[in-house]
Structure 1
Amino acid sequence: MTTAAIRRRPGTPCWVSLMVHGLGTTQDFYGALFGWSFVQVPGAQQFGPYVRGILDGNEVAGIGQLPPDRRLPLAWTTYLATNDADATAEAIRGCGGTVGVGPLDAGEEGRIAMASDPAGALFGIWQAQAHTGTAVAGPHGTPVWNELVTGEAVWVSTFYQSVFGYELETAGRDENDGDDGGDDVVTLRLDGRPVATLHGLGDGLGRIRGSYWMTYFEVDDTDVAVRRVVELGGHVIDPPRETAAGRVATVADPEGAVFSVVRSATR
């Protein structure tokens, strides 16, 4: 089990969050699948009801409730750490991205902004104060990897490099993909350590959904987790497959939010 640092290097994925219509039923789904319990976050209620998933006393992810009149596509959102949300927001705008919300204070928890890269993929930035982000990575039910699925990874990687100072590593094979060669894949590194991948699909990227960040959650057994997803009312997008990173499957929860589960090869 790897415990996350309290203060993360800017650009490090530090939190994942999901906005849904049925907060209670979504808690039931992820609680049964990952073993999470939940606590309400009073300081976040200015944005609507919001809870954090807890695993063995550690905060791992957030789930909030959308207003009844908001009918938006649901997706897990990756948050990238920053020491200065306002300066990062300005850098995002200056490098061709868009800041849709904020920066604004989330009570005493931290300072937040929601942005999108030049290809349209939504992500958050988080300047930690009382809430420092995901507290543990490694056990069943914890987020262990983040991947941007986009049209051209090499092209959009320059945006993320300019904003966050990543070192870029271009490769012909995605660690989370079982296919050999020919892939447009860039690994984002900080201080030499890989923190995320960008996977370009070219014409294979769906026009309706467009570019998006994918969250990978660790599981003890990928096949068992996929069957459990279906039992709980979700469905399978891509069935379990062996990859260099481990056994991976892509699924959706009952409201349609897509995520991946992985039994890491290093476990």
Structure 2
Amino acid sequence: MSQVTRNQPLGTPTWIDLAVVDLEGAKAFYGAVFGWDFTTGDTGGTGDRGAECLLRGLPVAGLRRVTDRADTHGSWTVHLATDDCDSTARRVAAAGGGVLAAPHDVGALGRAALAVDPTGARFGLWQGRTHPGCRLVNEPGALVRNDLVTADPGSARTFYTAVFDFTLDGNEDLAGADFTFLRRPDGHEIGGILGLDSAPAPVWATTFEVADTDATVARARSAGGTSTAPEDTPYGRFATLTDPYGTDFSVIAR
């Protein structure tokens, strides 16, 4: 278990949200899968009306209501921490990325921006004020990992090291895979880059920790989702799920 009470260092995945057309349906699905409760209001890194997803009364993610299904993108959006959203947005542009939504205040919660890397993967920036981001991580029902999956890992490695001062190292546990760890300057691992020629689109993939992968898969299927078959990996039992609206995410029991 890890409770977050302050803003995370530069580049740390600090908030996740999901754009949904059917807010009530999404709440029903994710509530069934993870046991989340929900509160309505501004959702962390976006400021749009939606719902915060609560675990033990603390926000762990956000659901953001949109009216156009084309705006849902089929994945959760990860927001990376910064103590200066404007400066980091400028670094994004200088390194060859794009700024899709310029830095803007989200009331007293913080300052946010939406960006895209040179491979086409979307991510957010979050400068917390009263809202540091996910208040619980690394426990069942909460965010445990984000990894960039792209067919152009070289460009991604160059970009993220330039913008967030990450260092890189390989992974001997995944023989034959083009996988690179991303580490903050203090050595803390924040995720990785997986080079995959068959990747249909570049995406920051989101993984939630669960207590029992097989039981979670069963709940997701009963709630209208689909799933790959659970499999054992060097890090735990893993499965990729798809919610009833086409959003992919993964779960792992470590």
Tell me the TM-score range normalised by the shorter chain: over 0.9
8 Å contact from structure 2 (residues 20, 72) kept in 1: no
CA distance in 2, matches of 1:140, 1:48: 27
Give secondary structure in 2 for the equivalent of 1:140. Answer: coil
Output the TM-score relative to the length of structure 2. 0.94
Give the C-alpha shift of residue 184 in structure 1: 1.0
Runs of at least 5 residues in structure 1 that lack an aligned partner in the other structure: 175-180
CA distance in 2, matches of 1:247, 1:76: 21
Shift in CA distance, 7/86, structure 1 to aligned 2, threshold 3 Å: same
Give the C-alpha shift of residue 156 in structure 1: 1.1
Output the TM-score relative to the length of structure 1. 0.90
Matches within 5 A, 1:188-199: 188-190=182-184, 191-199=186-194
2:238 to 211, 226, 248: 248
Q: Which amino acid aligns with 1:94?
A: A
Give the C-alpha shift of residue 259 in structure 1: 0.3
Does 2:196 align with 1:201?
A: yes
State the partner residue of 2:73: 73
- Greater shift after overlay, 238-247 or 82-91? 238-247
State the partner residue of 1:239: 229
* RMSD across aligned positions (CA): 1.7
Deviation digits for residues 12-37 of structure 1 (CA, Å, limit 9, x no counterpart): 00011000100011011111111111
Matches within 5 A, 1:172-187: 172-174=172-174, 181-187=175-181
CA distance in 2, matches of 1:132, 1:42: 14
Runs of at least 5 residues in structure 2 that lack an aligned partner in the other structure: none
State the partner residue of 1:178: none
Give secondary structure in 2 for the equivalent of 1:239. Answer: coil
8 Å contact from structure 2 (residues 208, 250) kept in 1: yes
Shift in CA distance, 161/249, structure 1 to aligned 2, threshold 3 Å: same
Does 2:10 align with 1:16?
A: no
CA distance in 2, matches of 1:97, 1:249: 31
Matches within 5 A, 1:9-88: 9-42=9-42, 48-68=48-68, 70=70, 72-88=72-88
Give secondary structure in 1 for the equivalent of 2:208. Answer: strand
**Sequence identity, in percent?**
37
Give secondary structure in 2 for the equivalent of 1:261. Answer: strand
Does 2:170 align with 1:170?
A: yes
Shift in CA distance, 173/116, structure 1 to aligned 2, threshold 3 Å: farther
CA distance in 2, matches of 1:75, 1:195: 19
Give secondary structure in 1 for the equivalent of 2:158. Answer: helix
CA distance in 1, matches of 2:236, 2:5: 24
